[in-house]
Amino acid sequence: MPVNKSWARWIKASVSKHFDDRREDLTLFIENQHRDTDEEKDFLELRMDGPRCHEVSKDQWKIRVEINILCQSVMNDTDYHIIDDIVGIAQSACTSCIPVYRYGNREGDDDTFVGALVRQDSSEHRDFVEANRFGQIDIRTKLLQAAVEGHYVMDLQL
């Protein structure tokens, strides 16, 4: 059986909703979404690589995605840890399981449960919720950036 043409959209929509529900008081932008950050001092941007779909046996699929959250904050002289707070919010949103539903308004979209993306936490395979700080990205701007990344796998049996 070929890859279901809706899997990528359902996964992205489900991941987007999952992180939007956990963003606290920060603005969350989704990659490819129009954004105007002139008014936003601190925000998150959600990016996703994948899905990578592999049929491991007849009608059994392994689907991998990497979720990357860009964290951005404007530097200030009163609180040097705002970027760390934002990283913490992003890391805590990388829960052990992200449910995937048939979200959308196209044929076949009915909000039913598809499966669960399970976070890969294995020191053997070096998967974990990772935070990378980039610091001040440009000497002319007072912006700090960091990224949080989590690796997830969903096993589907059709």
Per the prediction, the chain carries an average pLDDT of: 91
Per-residue pLDDT, 121: 84
Per-residue pLDDT, 133: 87
How far is 24 from 92, CA to CA, in rounded Å?
Answer: 11
Rounded to whole angstroms, what are the CA distances from 136 to 40, 88, 143? 17, 18, 6
More confident residue, 142 or 89: 89
Yes or no: domain 7-157 corresponds to CATH 3.30.2000.30: yes
pTM: 0.91
Band (pLDDT 50/70/90 cuts) for residue 58 is: very high
Q: Does the pLDDT of residue 34 top 90, yes or no? A: no
Do strands 43-57 and 27-30 pair parallel, antiparallel, or not at all (unpaired)?
Answer: parallel
Band (pLDDT 50/70/90 cuts) for residue 158 is: confident
Q: Does the pLDDT of residue 16 top 80, yes or no? A: yes
In sequence order, the 6+-apart residues with CB closer than 8 A to the CB of 122 are 128
86-133: pLDDT as tens digits: 999 999 999 999 999 999 999 989 999 999 999 998 767 666 788 998
Per-residue pLDDT, 145: 95
How far is 20 from 52, CA to CA, in rounded Å?
Answer: 23
